[in-house]
Amino acid sequence: MIKALGRTKMAATVEITNDIALIRMDDGKANAINFEMIAALNAALDTAEAEAMAIVLAGREGRFSGGFDLNAFANLGADGVYKLLDAGAELLLRLYGGPLPVVAACTGHAIAMGVFILNACDTRIGAAGDYKIGANEAITGMQLPIFAMEISRDRLSSRHLTRALMQGFIYNPEGAVEAGYLDTLADPDRVEAKALVVAEQLAQLPGKAYSWNKKAIRKATLDRIRSSIGAHHKL
């Protein structure tokens, strides 16, 4: 059964098959991360954690996520922006420190918060092709929140941190593998299927050990992100 979550028709859906939860983001546009998308993803994760052994997080064709909703940023006011950043940080904590294996099916472009969500997934399968992947905050004049820096420091190659974060370099999929945004590539029409295969393999691992090891190995990063909530730019 497929459950649609969020006020828009396809903000996010979750489908459980053979103990694998396939969560798809699809707002019909850029898969912008706003309060509605975050609520829909959290609802999908509730279902996945109750009914599944592993998760695949996918976008729609050609688009994983374009990052935070800039229209929301423009209209929320300072307090609302910080609340949205808090909600985004909590989502990353849930993906990066949650009990289940999470495999990303990066179905296309992933920009800004889109790549931080990629970094929060355990294994990341990307679509080969003419897609853009990277953190563009340096280009758009935005300061990176602490959660973005910490999760990137944990997942990206140290050789690419300056280029990726300070200089806002946008990679193609092959470069994204080298930088550490992605782990491997597949043809665009095979990304989701490959991610499901990987999720099925990970679901065979002892779940309690996977959960404990995941939290233990990532504890320092999780703690730093958690302590930054409400103070995203206070170094």
pLDDT digits (tens, 9 = 90+) for 116-135: 999 999 999 999 999 999 99
How many angstroms separate the Cα of 90 from the Cα of each of 61, 86, 93, 128, 228?
26, 6, 5, 30, 11
Are 53 and 103 in contact by the 8 Å Cβ rule? The answer is no
Please work out, in degrees rounded to the nearest 5, the angle formed at the alpha carbon of residue 139 by the alpha carbons of 136 and 145. 55
As a whole-number percent, the residues of the chain with pLDDT over 90 amount to 87
pLDDT of residue 7: 42
As a whole-number percent, the residues of the chain with pLDDT over 70 amount to 94
What's the chain's length in residues? 235
Q: Domains of the chain, with CATH numbers? A: 2-228 (3.90.226.10)
pLDDT of residue 74: 83
pLDDT of residue 6: 44
The predicted model gives 17-46 an average pLDDT of 96
Residues 183-222: tens digit of each pLDDT: 999 999 999 999 999 999 999 999 999 999 999 999 999 9
**pLDDT band at residue 2 under the 50/70/90 scheme:** low
Are 199 and 115 in contact by the 8 Å Cβ rule? The answer is no
Question: Residue 148: pLDDT above 90?
Answer: yes
The predicted model gives 23-50 an average pLDDT of 96
Selection from 7, 151, 134, 16 nearest residue 93 by Cα: 151
**pLDDT band at residue 9 under the 50/70/90 scheme:** low
Q: Is 0.85 topped by the overall pTM?
A: yes
pLDDT of residue 8: 41
pLDDT of residue 46: 97
Question: Residue 151: pLDDT above 60?
Answer: yes
pLDDT of residue 79: 87
- Higher pLDDT among residues 146 and 8, named by residue: 146
Helix H or strand E segment including 88: helix 70-97
Question: Residue 104: pLDDT above 80?
Answer: yes
Buried b (16+ CB within 10 A) or exposed e, 69-93: beebeeebeeeebbebbbbbbbbbb
pLDDT of residue 73: 81
The predicted model gives 159-173 an average pLDDT of 97
